[in-house]
């Protein structure tokens, strides 16, 4: 790749990564607003903790729907146009979540219909997140030459954490120096409305980047695909060679191959990793951080500042993942992260039961650091490479859908668990982290320094072993 193309590749990757930033922004904005939303739309209607948990996590229902729709939309209208739809949905959700009374209701008059409308707008935003989470990495991967693809995809993962950190800062800036009454009346609305800024920027910048060569080739627009490949790689000859490989790949994929063609093991492993990265409990901290820190003795303003620190640590630690993922490997990082998360989460619960929870904040930060170095970015890398080429599309779609289902389960069940156990609930997530460590150790192969074909060969051999075992018995 010539140097004069690097800036263009980084540009298109950064634009697509705004989908990741909005992914982080939309899913974490609720952290600053959820207590005000609870007061306005839940407590005032006499509803309980289950409805509270559902409302906080309702966007995740949209994430599941978006993930399911992503493959159909991206193949039907293109990768870029699917991201454009996501940007529009982010904007609608930001406005509607901030002012759910718009058009049909009166501000200050909560009702069950208004609560349903608020959740509807949050679900719309969730669909945008689901689309972006599935398609933005695909767009970046298809637009990046092989020698920089890994680094470009990591930009997307870092953008998620960066988006979470930005919204924590925005939430704190809106609430800082204000009365609780103002926050409960106006502040929470501004928190949701602030997402309009990055959503609008995402929409505008998407108009300046092209469709991917693979999608264009899929639709037989070979001249345009060649032109983009030439711009990315700086050589007509290289562009022609890559385009020929794409044509061969597309022809190969016309062969009908069932989802279980390579056996059940690879599907179980990939989908379990996707669910574990949510069941470990990171989004409990991201969505409920101010409430958790207040329960540990911090005031409202201090809780907001501590939440910013959580996000900042995530950003800093994510840089370590870039250096370690190729040096130490995927499996090593995930096992290290699982062990660190298990220790940190269990410590939070033990300190709470011992009545010395003022030290818990240190272990919550330790949990966030270990997660963002491992279970934050690495599962996205593994999901993009562990499934063989011929089943990658549907397998990734199912895995991402299960990831969001797991996220929704964890986010919905935390409020009643918190009512029952307080910070002691972290012991549950610590136990899941322990299970994750042994699952990785026993079943997950290392994929570092292996080509996709070599990884595929692992599953072919595993399937042969399973057949031989069945025949032997």
- Give me the residue spans of the domains in the chain: 1-209, 263-473
Q: What is the CATH number of domain 263-473?
A: 1.20.1250.20
User: Under a CB-based contact definition with an 8 Å cutoff, are residues 198 and 22 in contact?
Assistant: yes
Confidence at residue 393, expressed as pLDDT on a 0 to 100 scale: 65
Confidence at residue 3, expressed as pLDDT on a 0 to 100 scale: 44
Confidence at residue 468, expressed as pLDDT on a 0 to 100 scale: 65
Q: Which residues lie closer than 8 Å to 411 by C-beta, 6 or more apart?
A: 53, 56, 57, 60, 283, 284, 287
Confidence at residue 425, expressed as pLDDT on a 0 to 100 scale: 85
* In 176-279, alpha helices (H): 180-182, 188-193, 196-206, 213-218, 222-233, 236-252, 265-279
Cα–Cα distance for residue pair 78/301, rounded to 1 Å: 44
Residue numbers of the chain with a pLDDT score lower than 50: 1-4, 253-254
Tally of CB atoms within 10 A around 227: 16
Q: Is the fold of 1-209 the same as that of 263-473?
A: yes
pTM: 0.75
Tokens of 370: 């270990």
User: Under a CB-based contact definition with an 8 Å cutoff, are residues 387 and 266 in contact?
Assistant: yes
Q: Architecture of 1-209 per CATH?
A: Up-down Bundle (1.20)
SS3 state at 108: coil
Q: Which of 156, 452, 470, 169 is nearest to 305 (CA)?
A: 169
Confidence at residue 257, expressed as pLDDT on a 0 to 100 scale: 57
The 8-class DSSP code of residue 241 comes to H
User: Under a CB-based contact definition with an 8 Å cutoff, are residues 97 and 192 in contact?
Assistant: yes
Q: Which of 197, 423, 357, 379 is nearest to 275 (CA)?
A: 379
Cα–Cα distance for residue pair 422/438, rounded to 1 Å: 27
Inter-CA distances, 318 with 184, 199, 212, 375, Å: 34, 23, 27, 11
Cα–Cα distance for residue pair 144/100, rounded to 1 Å: 40
């Amino acid at each position: 790749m010539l140097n004069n193309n690097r800036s263009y590749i980084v540009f298109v990757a950064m634009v697509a990564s705004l989908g990741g930033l909005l992914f982080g922004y939309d899913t974490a904005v609720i952290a600053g607003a959820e207590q005000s939303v609870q007061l306005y739309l839940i407590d005032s209607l006499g509803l309980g903790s289950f409805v509270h948990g559902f409302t906080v996590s309702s966007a995740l229902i949209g994430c599941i729907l978006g993930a399911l729709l992503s493959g159909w939309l991206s193949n039907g209208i293109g990768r870029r146009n699917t991201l454009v739809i996501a940007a529009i949905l982010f904007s609608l959700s930001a406005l509607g979540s901030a002012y759910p009374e718009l058009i049909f209701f009166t501000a200050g008059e909560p009702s069950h219909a208004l609560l349903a409308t608020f959740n509807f707008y949050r679900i719309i935003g969730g669909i945008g997140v689901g689309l972006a989470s599935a398609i933005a990495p695909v767009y970046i991967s298809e637009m990046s030459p092989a020698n920089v693809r890994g680094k470009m995809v990591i930009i997307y993962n870092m953008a998620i954490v960066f988006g979470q950190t930005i919204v924590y800062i925005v939430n704190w800036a809106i609430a800082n120096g204000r009365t609780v009454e103002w926050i409960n009346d106006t502040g929470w609305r501004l928190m949701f409305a602030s997402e309009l800024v990055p959503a609008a920027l995402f929409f505008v910048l998407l108009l300046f980047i092209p469709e991917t060569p693979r999608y264009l080739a899929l639709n037989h627009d070979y001249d345009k695909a060649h032109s983009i490949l030439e711009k990315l790689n700086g050589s007509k000859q290289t562009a022609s060679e890559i385009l020929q490989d794409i044509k061969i790949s597309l022809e190969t994929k016309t062969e009908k191959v069932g989802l279980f063609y390579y056996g059940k093991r690879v599907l179980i492993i990939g989908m379990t990793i996707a669910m574990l990265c949510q069941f470990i409990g990171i989004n409990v901290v991201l969505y409920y951080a101010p409430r958790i820190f207040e329960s540990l003795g911090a005031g409202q303003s201090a809780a907001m500042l501590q939440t910013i620190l959580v996000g900042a640590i995530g950003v800093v630690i994510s840089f370590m993942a870039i250096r370690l993922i190729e040096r130490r490997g995927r499996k090593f990082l995930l096992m290290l992260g699982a062990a660190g998360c298990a220790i940190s989460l269990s410590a939070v619960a033990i300190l709470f039961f011992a009545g010395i929870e003022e030290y818990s904040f240190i272990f919550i930060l330790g949990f966030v650091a270990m997660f963002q170095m491992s279970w934050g970015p690495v599962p996205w890398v593994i999901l993009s490479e562990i499934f063989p080429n011929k089943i990658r599309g549907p397998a990734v779609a199912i895995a991402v859908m299960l990831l969001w289902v797991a996220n929704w389960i964890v986010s919905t069940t935390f409020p009643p668990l918190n009512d029952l156990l307080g910070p002691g609930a972290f012991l549950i997530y610590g136990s899941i982290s322990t299970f994750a460590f042994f699952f990785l150790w026993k079943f997950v192969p290392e994929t570092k320094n292996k080509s996709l074909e070599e990884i595929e060969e692992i599953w072919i051999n595993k399937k042969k072993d399973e057949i031989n075992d069945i025949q032997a018995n």
